[in-house]
Amino acid sequence: MLSVLRRGVVSQVRQFSTNQIAVEGFTASVGNTPLIYLKKLSQQTGCKIFGKAEFQNPGGSIKDRAAVGVVRDAEEKGLIKPGGTVVEGTAGNTGIGLAHVCRSRGYKCVIFMPNTQSQEKIDLLRMLGAEVHPVPAVPFENPQNYNHQARDYAKNLTNAIWTDQFDNTANAYAHFISTGPEIWQQTQGDIDAFICATGTGGTLAGVGKYLKAKSKGKTQIWLADPPGSVLYQYVSTGGKLAERSGSSITEGIGQGRITDNLGTFVSELSGALHIPDEKSIAMVYELLDTEGLYLGASSALNVVAAVELAQKLGKGSKVVTVLCDGAYRYQSRLFSKKWLKAKGLEDAIPEHLRKYAVL
Ligand code: PMP
């Protein structure tokens, strides 16, 4: 019986193609998400556009993979013992993943997050038993930044870890051993490019390194970047780090520095695309209308970028991206007429799709 159980990220890869009839617990049910062929967009472009359904992870987002990865890594290194505390600074999804992992593995979970994040995410974290500290949204350079507060809090506890999602490379490694191999297997290696936005850089670097290695450099890896992030400029100017300015309606993506998870992989990228909020919000509605997919703004931004990249690469090209989470966590914003108006985004949504803004 045990041999048919999927037990975690590593064994998921090993047992990927087996006919599993049951999995053991939350951590083993992370991953092995479907790869969705986005039919309408593919037909419109004459290309093949795929989105990996990361919203199907048990905690609802792509960050479940990183959460399992960093906790397992800490356990394997003996950094945390049963009954210990996991502390993290997170815009939400990593925290939600960690809160699930902590409940299922017997740890206390403490989350520091910027107070600009949606109320749905804060409520959910508290419902999952996490202790949440919303703190002022100040830049990384400021010692009061949510990340530094998480690090300092963990330092003062015994049997506690700060999982450090931005610079702990167990995050990217989780994607290298799970998301990357799954995409390779699901496309049978027939993939011209992978593109996605980054927050920590774990997904882009982990998936990117795996696909590059397996394809012997043939698969191009591209960055998609929202307003308010410095990475698009960094990649397109060949390494100049500008001051961070501006903001985006997307949550969980965009970055002001080169994290250790992105690291030197940033110089291996084939290029970057900047995606304005107008295009991302329109795609949230488009994906709902044409594909029946109810997705958050980072997923929509990724799909816009995948379409633009496929068009750049030419007819027949095959491009994969990730659908990071569902819209459920953001619906009070993304589907609210008042919010859209306040953001000046009402007109960005094609008229025939505005009927979905029912709040
Ligand atoms: N989309 C969403 C909704 C996220 O929460 C995150 C992580 N903050 C990302 C995308 C980016 O993933 P990564 O941290 O692996 O770069």
**Residue pLDDT, tens place only, 122-166:** 898 999 999 999 999 998 889 999 999 999 999 999 999 999 999
Q: Which of 39, 40, 52, 63 is catalytic?
A: 63
Residue 329 has pLDDT above 90, yes or no: no
| Interval 214-233: pLDDT, tens | 999 999 999 999 999 999 99
Rounded Cα distance, 304 and 287, in Å: 10
| Interval 182-195: pLDDT, tens | 999 999 999 999 99
Rounded Cα distance, 42 and 334, in Å: 25
3-state helix, strand, coil in the chain (%, to 5): 45, 15, 40
Rounded Cα distance, 9 and 178, in Å: 6
Residue 14 has pLDDT above 80, yes or no: no
The predicted model gives 68-86 an average pLDDT of 96
Using the mean position of ligand 1's atoms as its centre, give its distance from the Cα of residue 43 in Å.
28
Contacts of 301 (CB under 8 A, 6+ apart): 197, 224, 226, 250, 253, 275, 279, 280, 283
Beta carbons of 33 and 198 less than 8 angstroms apart: no
Task: Determine the length of the chain.
Answer: 359
Contacts of 351 (CB under 8 A, 6+ apart): none
Structure confidence at residue 63 (pLDDT): 97
The predicted model gives 61-90 an average pLDDT of 96
Quick one: DSSP state of residue 34?
P
Using the mean position of ligand 1's atoms as its centre, give its distance from the Cα of residue 253 in Å.
5
Give the residue among 307, 359, 327 at the shortest CA–CA distance from 60.
Answer: 327
Does the interface ipTM go beyond 0.90?
Answer: yes
Structure confidence at residue 317 (pLDDT): 98
Rounded Cα distance, 269 and 2, in Å: 41
Residue with the smallest CA separation from ligand 1 atom 8 is 252
Query: Per the structure block, which two tokens stand in for 80?
Result: 């945390």
Residue 264 has pLDDT above 70, yes or no: yes
Query: At 119, is the pLDDT very low, low, confident or very high (cuts 50, 70, 90)?
Result: confident
Main-chain dihedrals φ then ψ at residue 349, nearest 5 degrees: -90, 125
Query: At 20, is the pLDDT very low, low, confident or very high (cuts 50, 70, 90)?
Result: low
Main-chain dihedrals φ then ψ at residue 104, nearest 5 degrees: -80, -20
CB atoms within 10 A of CB 239: 10
Using the mean position of ligand 1's atoms as its centre, give its distance from the Cα of residue 168 in Å.
15
The predicted model gives 28-57 an average pLDDT of 97
pTM exceeds cut of 0.80: yes
Beta bridge partners, 196, equal 223
What percent of the chain has pLDDT above 90?
86
Residue 27 has pLDDT above 90, yes or no: yes
Q: Which contacts qualify for 103-108: CB closer than 8 Å, 24 or more apart? A: 103/26, 103/128, 103/129, 104/25, 104/26, 104/27, 105/27, 105/71, 106/82, 107/71, 107/80, 107/82, 107/83, 108/83, 108/84
Residue owning tokens 């100049």: 240
Rounded Cα distance, 181 and 188, in Å: 10
Pocket residues: Cβ below 6 A from ligand 1: 61-63, 91, 93, 198-204, 251-253, 296, 298, 324-325
The predicted model gives 86-114 an average pLDDT of 94
Beta carbons of 327 and 294 less than 8 angstroms apart: yes
Residue with the smallest CA separation from ligand 1 atom 5 is 252
The predicted model gives 22-43 an average pLDDT of 94
Quick one: DSSP state of residue 194?
E
Mean pLDDT (the chain, rounded)? 93
| Interval 303-325: pLDDT, tens | 999 999 999 999 999 999 999 99
- Tell me if residue 63 is catalytic: yes
Structure confidence at residue 11 (pLDDT): 46
